[in-house]
Chain A
Amino acid sequence: MTSLDILAAAVLNGLMSGAVYALIAVGLTLVYGVLHIINFAHGAILSAAMFAAYLAFQAGVDPYVAMVPLALIFFGLGYGLQRLVIGPASHGDDRNILLITLGLSIVIENLLLAVFNSDTRTVDVAYGFSTLDLGFTFLAVPRAVAFGVSCLVAVLLWILLAQTDTGKATRAVAKEKLGASLAGIDVAHIYAVTFGLGAACLAIAACLLLPTYYVHPRVGNAYVLVAFTIVVLGGMGSIPGAIAGGLFVGVVESLSGLMFGESLGQLGIFVIFILVLLVRPTGLFGAKA
């Protein structure tokens, strides 16, 4: 392999990982953008979603087939969680919501631990080792699928927010909650829809990760810190920012890993992060005001 081939392959690997990071970050940034809170339960919900995908696989359902039903189920769960637990328990206070999501993450992780033990689990799907020969590198099919689906979900989400009535209402609530409620928008419903969408994104990400990654009760934590970074880097609440930030972080991690060693690859993310915040404190796509 020439050094140019390696570089190209590393960029490609970074984009593949970055697309999944972006999908996880989109859910987080959506919740921030509308509810104006950081959802600390994001990682735990991802762990739960991975176990759901794992259980589906054990029952004979391929993770890619399970993707749509699981996204719907997790949308419902997210909706219910916001409507029945987070909303009523927080009494409208943002600080309470933060604490409740933190508490939820502890509850979910420990429930997973109690039910599934701490074992690391993996699945062996038929296409797990299929690759596409690109000449300069082999691209694993599950990673290519993850990239394609993540991009598709981002586009669908964008259409949903830009074109539909619910999307318009969501944007209205995000901008001016009181004004939106005076205009007749059910703010509690929009909050719950947003939380549901965030959980649905995680369910899709879980199905995309399962064929190549492992599952255990704290697996979400491996992704959630990088997702937080992407949200701030891309501009808090910005969906294009989360997508661009995710891909950018994936490539930075991959290239710095290649050049300075895998252990320092993750350090590269935070160096870039600090640099961006120094130059543009609102993040890449954040509003200036």
Chain B
Amino acid sequence: MSKTGKTGLSRRRVLKAGAAVVAGTVAMPAYLRAQGAAVKIGILQPVTGALAFDGAQGQIGAAAAIKAINDKGGIKSLGGAKLEMVFGDARSTPEGGTAEVERMAAEGVVAIVGGFASPICLAATQAASRYDLGYIVDVGVSDQIVSRGLTNTFRFAPGFGIVTKSALDNLVTINDAAGKPAKTVVLVHEDGLFGSGLAKLMQAELPKRGFEILDTIAHPTPARDMSNVALQIRSKNPDLIIPSSYYGEFVLLARTMQQQKIKPKGVFCVLNGAASNYRFVKEFPEAAQNVMDCNHWYDPRNAVAQALKKEVDASGKFFTYNVALNYSGVLLLADAIERAASADRKAIVAALASSTFAGHIMPYGPTQFIGGQNTGAAPVNTQVQDNDIKVIFPASFADAKPVFPVPA
């Protein structure tokens, strides 16, 4: 008599079926491995606090790159593993950035991209180094970031040493071509690491190139009012104003200068948060007209960059350099993971260190890190002309000629 119940199932059959289920379950991870488990990458941006606008822009670029990579089949050397974003809000402070790096490390990210502001990048890269986490700095222009010997830190974009040199070379060229109308300068900068460092460099370099600095004015971020800054500029009456501030403060300065009827021969920004920003051009066409900037900028000839810009424009957002830099930074990291063929943090750091990645959307050559700085990176000079941002330098990318001195 077989021990068959009312269901018609013998104990042996039940045991067989159970064994099959167990075997299947055990076999499943191997199957999943073949598909490639998701690779977690940390995206750190300040999306709350004073730098929230810039942080949100960076997040857009990173998210777009992750989507593009995943749509193309993920990391092929890891069996088509998808990238998974672990997002950290640096809350516009170095402490916030550090706390989020700690959290992301605990959540198992293999590397981090972002940071935006220099103080955040300085703190976050240091925190990441404790966990052997590769860190790709998206913007953070202070040269201190890549001069501390941290082997995990890679800055994809130019720092302010490179940007200032390019800016000054371009300024001299523009001024000479116009018959040297500009001789005197007032520097306006935010009083953090980025603005102060830049002002120091300018103070050393401008006199060597024949410019007289009449005044250097620092302002806090956030600033409630720029009337006094404008007042001081007006009393000095310089030929040129060179501002280095974040978005909100430059907008405030540009508005106040317009109210105070300050009309210099040129406003030549260096790494300015607003002058290379379509939002500024759209919201204040009059104040933005003819403002020049030496800054990060995408390669306008690159088809991927053009398509990304269209996509961002269509979503109602502005295509700022943060979008392009973070997009490129994530592509650079994905390339390193691909070549490392591993999700091991140290292997990814080694792959980044030897990177010759050229598939980005910036006007740079192939990536080459020396001491953590991408020596292939270079800024461009832009100018707001007729409600658009045009590239005026270098000539190989330029789609307009500089307007200088600006018409009174």
Query: Which residues from chain A sit less than 8 Å from chain B, CB to CB?
Result: 1, 5-6, 9-10, 13, 16-17, 113, 117-120, 122, 124, 128-129, 131, 137-138, 140, 143, 212-214, 216-218, 222-223, 226, 254, 257-258, 261-263, 265-266
- Determine if B56 is an interface residue (Cβ-Cβ < 8 Å): yes
Q: When the two chains form their complex, are residues B286 and A129 in contact, meaning their CB atoms are under 8 A apart? A: yes
* Interface check B283, CB cutoff 8 A: yes
**Do the beta carbons of A120 and B255 come within 8 Å of each other?**
no
B55 at the interface (CB under 8 A from A): yes
22 A–B contacts, CB within 8 A, in A order: A16-B227, A17-B224, A17-B225, A118-B48, A120-B52, A120-B247, A122-B284, A129-B258, A129-B259, A137-B260, A140-B259, A212-B252, A212-B255, A213-B224, A214-B248, A218-B50, A223-B224, A254-B228, A262-B219, A263-B220, A265-B228, A266-B220
A1: contacting residue among B218, B234, B261, B286, CB under 8 A? B234
- B48 with A218: CB separation less than 8 A: yes
What chain B residues lie within 8 Å of A16 (beta carbons)?
227
Tell me which of B56, B224, B256, B283 contacts A117 (CB under 8 A). Answer: B56
CA distance A13 to B231 in the complex (A): 10
Chain B: CB-nearest residue to A6: B235
With A120-B248, A214-B248 in contact, is A258–B232 under 8 Å at CB? yes
The CA of A119 and the CA of B54, in the complex, are separated in Å by 8
Which one, A140, A216, A254, contacts B52 given CB within 8 A? A216
By the criterion CB–CB under 8 Å, are B52 and A119 in contact?
yes
| B375 CB → nearest A CB, Å | 33
Q: How far is the CA of A223 from the CA of B225 in the complex (A)?
A: 11
Interface membership of B222, Cβ < 8 A = yes
What is the number of contacts between chain A and chain B, taking CB atoms within 8 Å? 101
Let me know if A122 and B251 touch, CB within 8 A: yes
- Judging by beta carbons under 8 Å apart, are B228 and A13 in contact? yes
A9 to chain B: which residues have CB within 8 Å?
Answer: 231
Which residue of chain B has its CB nearest to the CB of A109?
A: B48
Minimum C-beta distance from B136 to chain A (A): 22
Q: B49 at interface (Cβ–Cβ under 8 A)?
A: yes
- Chain B residue nearest to A3 (CB atoms) is B235
CB–CB B225/A13 < 8 A: yes
Q: A262 to B284, alpha carbons, bound, how many Å?
A: 24
Q: How far is the CA of A140 from the CA of B258 in the complex (A)?
A: 10
What is the bound-complex CA distance between A225 and B224, given in angstroms? 12
What CA separation (Å) do A218 and B235 show in the bound complex?
A: 34
A131 is contacted by which of B223, B228, B261, B283 (Cβ under 8 Å)?
A: B261
Residues in B with CB closer than 8 Å to A262 are 191, 217-220, 223, 228-229
Contact indicator A222/B224 (Cβ below 8 Å): yes
A131 and B260: CB pair below 8 A?
yes
Q: CA of A262 to CA of B220 in the docked complex: distance in angstroms? A: 7
Q: Return chain A residues, CB-CB under 8 Å to B219.
A: 262-263
